[in-house]
Structure 1
Amino acid sequence: MKRRLPISLILFFIFKTVFSQTAPSADIATIKQNLKKMNVLGSVLYIAAHPDDENTRLLAYLAQEKHYRTGYLSLTRGDGGQNLIGTEQSELLGLIRTQELLAARRTDGAEQFFTRANDFGFSKGPDETLKIWDKDKVLGDMVWVIRKFRPDVMICRFPTTGEGGHGHHTSSAILAQEAFSAAADPKRYPEQLKYVQTWQAKRLLWNTFSFGRINTTSPDQFKINVGGYNPILGKSYGEIAADSRSNHKTQGFGSAKQRGDAFEYFKTILGDAPKIDLMDGVKTTWDRVKGGDEIAAQLKIITNNFDDDAPENSVKPLITLLGNIEKIPDTYWREQKSIAVKELIAACSGLWFEAYTAEPAYAVGDSADVQLQIINRSSVNAAIKSISSSADKRFKTLNEDLPNNQLKTVNFKIKTEKISQPYWLESPHGIGSYTINDDMKVGNPENPDALSVLFEFVVDGKVINISRKLVYKYVDPARGEIYQPLEITPPVTANIADKVYIFNSTQPQNIKVKLRSFTDAAGDISIKPLNGWKITPEKINFTGKKKGDEWTVNFTVEPTNSKSNTSVFEVVTKANGQSFSKGIQHINYEHIPNITLFPPAQAKLVNIDLKIAGKKIGYIQGAGDLIPEALKQVGYDVHDLTENEILNSDLSEYDAIVTGVRAYNVNERLVYEQPKLLQYVKNGGNLVIQYNKNTDLVTNNIGPYPLRVVNERVTDENAEVTILDKQNPIFNYPNHISQDDFKGWIQERSIYMPQTTDPHYLLLLQMNDAGQTPQKGSLIISHYGTGRYIYTSLVFFRELPEGVPGVYRLFINLLSKPKNSN
């Protein structure tokens, strides 16, 4: 299958992403590390399936000790996992984990790449995974990254034989083996060869492991001691690895720092087996390229003569070195090393420069006010020749000298041409992969065409061009100077108050839409017509809106009949002659840059036959979910219970108490609160426990009788469900539950199902994936005292926010204990 590639080459070879701060580190340790890297012409690409799969200790060792160009290719962005620090799911979680990976790479020194594959949740085998992902497209992305990155050695985290325990893991190894050969074959993905050459890595290795009970290492395997200490950085690679891995906060992967010898083991999968060194048979010095001998000799002199107290003394020889590097015929290493030596020249000369905007956001089509600051903090002879914009190619000639330690400020305008939507979210996508409209962007962790400024300097007579990303900079009274990504927005955004609106009668509902203007604007707000719904008014005009104005409009929506119906309510905003259907969403965590995206201005309208019993629900928060909001949407009074309320108040006022997902994994106080919760059940209450992982439980006494959580799943969202006790009130009060209520689910059915043989428990549902043993642990109840205890591993936390009708009906039944049930 051929994939279309666009003509533009503007983004060619742009892979590496830095944090929003525009100027990279220029301390002596960084300069010395980068001087060492100048002498190395080797590259390694590590391949796995998800954020957190990478071996950060090995990456740190390869990048910082061996000085190879080191990359991690994660096939997915981790969209399908759970979130331990917030409520974001799916692509929102993928955005966070993308930034966590970039933070990890800034720590360990490697680079980050992705394919278009979507983490659709746990998969039990590669056959399912590769079918859902669309193997050909994902393989093509991997080949594209390999041909651009040109790794000498490729390393898999997982084997093809299933020891990784996840279909995505196994698939990453299967695809890596095929990509190893396909990247070298001109008949595979030939459309790419207009922009890149074929590439054959020397070898593909499997980085064997010992995880828990699974040990795939053996004494006869090739091994490397990666536990060394880097005196320039002042850290061991185990310490760097822990800092890197601890960036994966959404997964709770804070890691202890390791010191001392540590061995990594490897099994050769394809190519020549290494005997002495990972790079056996690969030239990793300047001998690799024509004309490299002179460059290596120059670098030796520069390194030997480097003066920590006067790094500017190295500028003249570095400029000579740059001239020689620019003459080498190898385009790949010429490109890589020219960029690196230019940054070294800037660092050694104390040349600091950045570009930032006056405001955090600008509407597309407007001009952004940009301030450029430049300073030469050494005696090096330097001048700023010109500056130019990456967006509109606007050019400004300066030709001004940069005297020692004199800050120069230049004001500049840049035309904004495209909203700053993450490129993989620009178009709707299916379950298996993102839709990427421009294949040249594939592999990049962020938008490679983000606004930037090109600075043209003359340093000691040599013209040097260096680009800096355009960001927003401000001062926070508590945190100091802060850099954040610049937002390029639609002229007016429209945020609908709720994601889902549940109708269980023909009564109308009011839908609030919050508008925000990012420019001076006039226009109108309208709703796309929908069959089966009456929406008034059809259009609302607005005039005289200024940048920063916010206002709310109201639409009345009602079903035109009582039939079940699910439709999409879409807001179209016309402003200054442009039409958009976008909201705006911010994701803010202190450990990563702010994330801004523009989701469709849409909400689901779900008309279902829904009966409600009870009113007041107590909720105990877990790792983060949106179930309280879903319950409020259908009329429940949901109260977040505090520890004091659980231990010291009368809980009988609650018709049901619900624990959030993974509550017994993340809430350490539940070990003390559990006896009071069970007493609530014994006295007639209704307790609903949602899924928990089988590891790191704060108490093993989750239920009133023995109950053990295990890692058993049903991952097929369409798996057949058998109701084992159709007469049970769970399936009849207040809503009658049938097979139809298990239609339309997303991602999976049930995860981390419990097991029990205690006769006090009733097992109510049976389900299984194809070829698997039937499982009965997804919904378990017990009558305890005069109350009802429920443990469910059904994925309500995914289904309710998506407005799946049958899930609402079933969950409400869990909350509704009949008065005479005991």
Structure 2
Amino acid sequence: MKRTLLFTIALFIGINNTKAQTAPPSDLGTIKQNFKKLNVLGSVLYIAAHPDDENTRLLAYLAQEKHYRTGYLSLTRGDGGQNLIGNEQSELLGLIRTQELLAARRVDGAEQFFSRATDFGFSKNPEETLKFWGKDKILGDMVWVIRQFRPDVMICRFPTTGEGGHGNHTASAILAQEAFSAAADPKRYPEQLKHGVTVWQAKRLLWNTFSFGNVNTTSEDQFKLNVGGYNPTLGESYGEIAAESRSNHKTQGFGSARQRGDAFEYFKTILGDAPKTDLMDGVNTTWARIPGGAPIGTELATVSKSFNDDEPSASVPALLKLLDKVDMEFGRDKAMQTVRLRPEAVEDYTYWHKQKTKELKDLIAACAGLWFEAYAPEQSYAVGDKLDLRAQMFTPFALPMSDMQISVDGTVLYLNIPDNAFVLSPGKLSTEQLRPFTLKKITQPYWLEAPHGIASYVLANDTLAGPPENTDAPTAKFEFTMDGRKLAYYRKVMYKYVDPARGEIYQPLEITPPVTANIAEKTYVYNSAVPQVIQVKLKSFTNASGSISIKPIAGWKITGAANFADKKKGDEWTASFTVAPTDGKSNTANLDVVVTANGKTFSQGLLNIRYTHVPAITIFPPAQAKLVNIDLKTAGKKIGYIAGAGDLIPDALREVGYDVHQLSENEVINGDLSAYNAIVVGVRAYNVNQRLAYQQPKLMEYVKNGGNLVVQYNNNNGLVTKNLGPYPFQPVNQRVTTEDSPVTILDKDSPVLNYPNKITQDDFKDWIQERSVYMVSNIDPEYKTPLQMGDPGEPQSNGSLIVANYGEGRFVYTSLVFFRELPAGVPGAYRLFVNLLSKPPKKEGVGYKSK
């Protein structure tokens, strides 16, 4: 049976984050925090390699206690990490982890940035990382972010000396050191200076030293901060905020306990002046930072002191006057004409003018109780179609407003100037129907718009680097005059609806191709010239007519084509094609589906990802599948599968003809397991399934009675039982990360290398990302170890595959990354994994006798 259409798999469950309104918070606690933040002109940029590398307690302290503009630059989106909650891998996992980081930042108050680098998997040294990433491009992205963000202090999570334990970690520190100086050098990346940034020199670069496990890089002679304080305005300590923030990294299993009380962070100065008493030593973080700005700070303090909790709107007139004063004192022309500053000092003027103007406008809206949003009646629309939006506005207070104008992406959709007056009645919601506008661009994440390699994404231009999401998503601009002052506010256009069980729900707007094409399988594996039927599921997002076809492929015969007409929005249908190799040669090819709709050509599918802790994710991957023609023999058909942390191996096995059944706990403990030719335990199952400790005796009994049990890799930490097999062995944190590392066959007569497929060196060609993770050591002599491998320049290990006969059956444990290789259609990985599933009949068996 073919597996479910991959690109339409989704968990349709409640999404907590989408219940939030599009407007920023306006509660009293937020207002008071924002008053304090307005009086601070300082910024800190934290730098590391992956999502979850960041120090959330420090970020919360910097953003919420010190009120600095605080950012986290994660060089990657965590694409190569493990997935504890689902089976998404690679860029799909990166999409989820991007949203996990944004959810974390909403809690701790920092901002989020990225480079174009991908997490290509575990790397043992920075040289490998920098070679894969392409050092110059990633360094350029960091310089671009620094020149835009203009941090006074930069902090890296890891050192350049390797204590971080991961090549990506060390590389992030190496790049941070070089970027610290490169951002200030006009000769480095001069092309950036043509796009609205200037050079920038941070005051210092610090290493946030740490104590992880057995590695302690802190010492009492280092500069330290107590970041464990309590914030009475927020009603939480920074340890509590940090735990809530970090617990958003659910794919990595980083749920954290709330911590209270003193907590010290230590810092070692890498570049620049060392701090003595304060992180910002030598940096003026008051309004006096700007010549002539000190009176603004004084006036702001007066407005803040007079703030009335029971009547926040009473502060609006004073804040509007303060906004006028900020514009008057802070403009670029003012700086250049009256202060005679160096060009970089003028840029400091304009930078802080932009930041503080936005903060001040948001504070005015919060005190005024102003609320705006623009929403669509449906979630999905085809590019080129027109969208009818509704805008809503509300304030609980009587406020004089005039010259109301609403536009989306520069197009005016609403204009109301009768007698130059527009009044929002206090306490009354105003709803306006906007003029329709044409949707111009598909909402594909900008880093996925072009095909990419293993190490970095391809950007249309270098200035796109940095933002976590698309910056060109449809956005409504609300402009009006209040008390003689022109104001403008921006709100992202969302889809809003009411769910009977969950209440009001907000989801991102989806702008789609007119018709999407989802191929039923990601990979089609052939071991003969017998044709396979390839089904393509079509979905129309507009009224459409056209055709669907498959591009010709050398060495393959394709039969079928389909026209469609008068399809309506929401229509779904299936087109079928027959595909077969034209010769017996082993080969691989890409199959591309082309859709012509309303005279235009598209070749994109539809993928929805739904989890409770992040907003809905929708992307449009290439309408493409992989064809693999291999010499593959199979033995036995019925496979039992015990799910682990999530992988696609059951789907891959079904693709080559296996009947795969996912086993429940009741079936393992009480069922007849002898019906299965083999039972496979999914990746990290002994880390995530507490009940496996109780199922283990039945699995060992299954083996002893003649069964074939194949256990895939587990993390060495957090095992639910130490007795993973019939004889002792121990998973350890040892990997072979180079995917083309040489493999030595130690036992050419091993059944797992001979039945039903003869495994040779050719079967280890074209593997992706890595060979083996969390290999095993302390291996009992009862196990046979048919393979040996290791990264270049490192000791060879036989811990990637161990096999033992136990009773009448066979036990296999493997740390080879089949969970990556099979979905990618790697021929040799298929052949070897099928062998692991296939216990030879006794009369054909070669090698081991049962104990």
Aligned partner of residue 603 in structure 1, secondary structure: strand
Q: Which residue of 1 aligns with 2:400?
A: 381
| 1:107 and 2:113 aligned | no
* In 1, Cα distance between equivalents of 2:753 and 2:402: 78
Who is 1:7 aligned against? none
Distance 1:318 1:38, change over 3 A: same
Shift of 1:48: 0.2
Matched residue of 2:728: which SS?
coil
Deviations, residues 269-316 of structure 1 (Å, cap 9, x unaligned): 000000000000000000011331221121011110000000000000
Q: What is the CA distance between 1:703 and its match in structure 2?
A: 1.1
Out of 521, 534, 541, which is 1:518 matched to? Answer: 541
| CA–CA separation in structure 1 for the residues paired with 2:642 and 2:428 | 58
Q: Which moved more, 1:689-698 or 1:379-388?
A: 379-388
Report percent identity of matched pairs: 68
2:638 is equivalent to residue 637 of structure 1: no
Match of 2:444 in 1: 421
Superposed, 1:119-134 pairs within 5 Å as 119-134=119-134
Counterparts of 1:109-188 in structure 2 under 5 Å? 109-188=109-188
Instruction: Look up the SS of the partner of 1:624 in the other structure.
Output: coil
Task: Give how far 1:682 is off.
Answer: 0.7
Do 2:78 and 2:119's aligned partners in 1 also have CA atoms closer than 8 Å? yes
TM alignment of 1:142-291, pairs within 5 A: 142-194=142-194, 195-291=196-292
Equivalent position SS for 1:473: strand
Alignment of 1:263-412 (within 5 A): 263-327=264-328, 328=330, 329=332, 330-383=349-402, 385-390=404-409, 393-399=411-417, 400-412=422-434
The alignment partner of 2:112 has SS state of: strand
* 1:430 matched residue in structure 2: 453
SS at match of 1:326: helix
Name the structure 1 match of 2:346.
none
Cα separation, 2, equivalents of 1:398 and 1:550: 42
Q: Is the 8 A contact 2:18 2:615 kept in 1?
A: no
Contact 1:384 1:402 in 2 (8 A): no
Corresponding residue for residue 719 of structure 1: 741
Contact 2:18-2:507 at 8 Å conserved across structures: no
Q: Does 1:453 align with 2:476?
A: yes
The amino acid that maps onto 2:57 is R
Aligned to 1:191, what secondary structure does the other structure show?
Answer: helix
Q: Is the 8 A contact 2:729 2:778 kept in 1?
A: yes
User: Which residue identity is paired with 2:391?
Assistant: L
Structure 2 counterpart of 1:543:
565
Distance 1:185 1:440 in 2: 18
After TM superposition, give the deviation of residue 577 of structure 1 in Å.
1.4
**Residue aligned with 1:277, SS:** coil
* Alignment-mate amino acid for residue 110 of structure 1: A
Indicate whether 1:468 and 2:469 are aligned: no
Q: Is the 8 Å Cα contact of residues 514 and 541 (structure 2) preserved in structure 1?
A: yes
Partner of 1:6: none
Distance 2:564 2:47 in 1: 52
Give the unaligned 5+ runs of structure 2: 1-16, 333-348
Post-superposition offset of 1:439 = 2.2
Judge conservation of contact 1:312–1:379 (CA < 8 Å) in 2. no
Distance in 2, Cα, partners of 1:319 & 1:139: 41
Task: Check conservation: 1:384, 1:401, Cα contact below 8 A.
Answer: no
Paired with 2:292 and 2:396, the residues of 1 have a C-alpha distance of 33
Using a 3 Å threshold, how does the CA distance of structure 1 residues 117 and 20 change in structure 2: closer, same or farther?
Answer: farther
Query: In structure 2, do the counterparts of structure 1 residues 722 and 630 end up closer, same or farther at CA, with 3 Å as the change threshold?
Result: same
1:18: how far off? Answer: 11
Instruction: State yes or no: 1:710 paired with 2:729.
Output: no
Alignment partner of 1:509 is 2:532: yes
Select which of 768, 784, 790 maps to 1:746.
Answer: 768
Q: CA deviation at 1:19?
A: 9.5
**Count of residue correspondences:** 804
Whether contact under 8 Å (2:144, 2:463) holds in the other structure is no
Q: Secondary structure at the match of 1:513?
A: strand
CA distance, structure 2, for counterparts of residue 439 and residue 27 of structure 1: 39
Partner of 2:82: 82
Counterpart secondary structure, 1:104: helix
**Residue in structure 2 matching 1:730, options 752, 757, 763:** 752
Residue by residue over 1:628-652, the C-alpha shift from the partner in whole angstroms, topping out at 9 and shown as x without a partner, is 0000011101011111111111111
**Any conservation in 2 of the 1:71–1:111 contact (CA below 8 Å)?**
yes
Query: Are the equivalent residues in 2 in contact too, given 1:376–1:382 (CA < 8 A)?
Result: no
- Deviation digits for residues 458-495 of structure 1 (CA, Å, limit 9, x no counterpart): 22221101110001111111111111110000000000
- 1:3 maps to which residue? none
- In structure 2, C-alpha distance between the alignment counterparts of 1:723 and 1:20, rounded to whole Å: 57
3-state DSSP of counterpart to 1:514: strand
Is the 8 Å Cα contact of residues 586 and 596 (structure 1) preserved in structure 2?
A: yes
Residue among 770, 774, 781 paired with 2:796: 774
Tell me the secondary structure at the aligned position of residue 801 of structure 1. coil
Determine the structure 1 residue equivalent to 2:683: 661
Deviation track 1:569-597 (CA, whole Å, cap 9, x = no partner) reads 10010111111100010000111000000
Residue of 801, 804, 813 corresponding to 2:835: 813
Q: 1:50·1:76 contact (CA, 8 Å) conserved in 2? A: yes
- 1:12 match: none
CA contact (8 A) 2:710 2:837 kept: yes
Q: 1:684·1:787 contact (CA, 8 Å) conserved in 2? A: yes
- 1:21 deviation in Å? 3.4
Which residue is 2:701 aligned to?
A: 679
Q: Is the 8 A contact 1:20 1:485 kept in 2?
A: no
Shift in Å, 1:395: 4.2
1:763 lines up with 2:785 in the alignment = yes
Deviation at 1:20, TM superposition (A): 7.1
The CA distance in 2 between the partners of 1:332 and 1:729, in whole Å, is: 68
TM-score, normalised via structure 1 length: 0.97
> Following the alignment from structure 2 to structure 1, what is the Cα–Cα distance between the partners of residues 663 and 582?
39
Higher alpha-carbon deviation: 566-575 or 291-300: 291-300
CA contact (8 A) 1:509 1:557 kept: yes
Deviation of 1:325 after TM superposition, in Å, equals 1.5
Q: 3-state DSSP class of the match of 1:582?
A: coil
SS in 1 for 2:575: strand
Q: Is the 8 A contact 2:399 2:423 kept in 1?
A: no
Secondary structure of 1:396's counterpart equals strand
CA contact (8 A) 2:399 2:424 kept: no
Whether the 8 Å contact between 2:818 and 2:829 is mirrored in structure 1 is yes
Other-structure match for 1:481 = 504
**CA 1:20–1:570: 2 relative to 1, 3 Å:** farther
Number of the residue aligned with 2:9? none
Distance 1:337 1:283, change over 3 A: same
Q: Aligned AA for 1:207?
A: N
Of structures 1 and 2, the one with the larger relative CO (CA 8 A, separation 6+) is 2
Over the residues paired in the alignment, what is the CA RMSD in angstroms?
A: 1.1
Deviation sequence 1:312-354 (CA, Å, 0-9, x none): 0000011011111123041100101111111111111111110
| SS of 1:762 mapped into structure 2 | coil
Query: What do residues 174-204 of structure 1 show as CA deviations (whole Å, max 9, x unaligned)?
Result: 0000000000000000000112000000000
What's the CA shift for 1:798? 0.3
Give the C-alpha shift of residue 440 in structure 1: 2.3
